[in-house]
Amino acid sequence: MMDVHYKFRAVKRTATKSGKCPGCGKRYRLQRTFEQTINPYNRLPDGTPKSMEDIVRELTAECIAWRDRPEYCGACRELREQMKAMGWTSDWPTFCAKVESIFGPIEGLLETAPEVYLHMVVAHGFSEYSHVLLLDYKDQVKLRAAFDEWYTAAELAPALREEGWDAFLAD
C-alpha cells in the first residue's frame, strides 16, 4: 500500500507590534506569523470550505487582535502567574468573597473592628489590586490616584479613605 500526501497552499499574514510592558515599562518589538491552509477540511461554521477571502479575513482579524493586545515582558508575566497561583486578584467581588470567608460580612467588620477593616479590606485589597495590575510603587502620585479610583469604585467608607491610604503605606 502506498501513502498519498497532499500539500495544501498556505496563506500567511505577518503582524508586528511594539510598545512598553504595562508592568515595568520595558520596551518590546514582536513579530508573529498567522497561517491557515486552503484545504477541504478547513471549513466555516456552516460546513462549507473556506475560500481564500474567508481565510484572509480571519487572519487579518487575528493579526489586529494580537497587535492591539499589550504584552508583558517575561519577568512581569511570571510575576502575574505567581500572584494568580497565590489567589491574588484585582476583581473586587472576588477579593470580598475571600475576606468574608474569613471575617464574615465586610459591613459588620467595619462596625465591629475598624482597625481590621482598614488593614484587611483597604490595605490588603489595594495591595492585591496594585500588584496584580503591576502598578509602579515609585510614582506615589499615580499610585495615590489609582488608590482613590479603586477606593471609589469599591464603594468603601468615605470617612476612612485617608486612614486606608496610611494603612496601605504602612503595610
What pLDDT is stored for residue 75 in this prediction?
Answer: 85
58-79 pLDDT, tens digit each: 999 999 999 999 898 888 888 8
Helix (H, G, I), strand (E, B) or coil at 33: strand
Q: Which helix (H) or strand (E) holds 87?
A: none
Query: Does the structure show a pLDDT above 90 at 14?
Result: yes
Place of cell 473592628: 113
Query: Does the structure show a pLDDT above 90 at 140?
Result: no
124-128 contact pairs (CB < 8 A, 24+): 124/99, 124/171, 125/92, 125/95, 125/99, 125/150, 125/154, 126/150, 126/151, 126/164, 126/168, 127/168, 127/171, 128/83, 128/88, 128/89, 128/90, 128/95
Query: Does the structure show a pLDDT above 80 at 23?
Result: no
How many angstroms separate the CA atoms of 14 and 16, rounded?
A: 7
Place of cell 487572519: 59
What pLDDT is stored for residue 56 in this prediction?
Answer: 96
Q: Where are the domains of the chain?
A: 9-68, 87-170
147-170 pLDDT, tens digit each: 899 888 888 888 888 988 988 888
The band of 42, judged by pLDDT with boundaries at 50, 70 and 90, is very high
CA 160 to chain centre: 29
What pLDDT is stored for residue 132 in this prediction?
Answer: 80
Helix (H, G, I), strand (E, B) or coil at 21: coil
69-118 pLDDT, tens digit each: 989 888 888 888 888 888 888 888 888 888 888 888 888 888 888 888 88
The band of 121, judged by pLDDT with boundaries at 50, 70 and 90, is confident
CB 11 within 8 A of CB 55: yes
How many angstroms separate the CA atoms of 105 and 153, rounded?
A: 18
Average pLDDT over residues 35-62: 96
What pLDDT is stored for residue 16 in this prediction?
Answer: 96
Residue type, 41: Y
What pLDDT is stored for residue 139 in this prediction?
Answer: 81
Query: Does the structure show a pLDDT above 90 at 18?
Result: yes
CB 147 within 8 A of CB 124: no
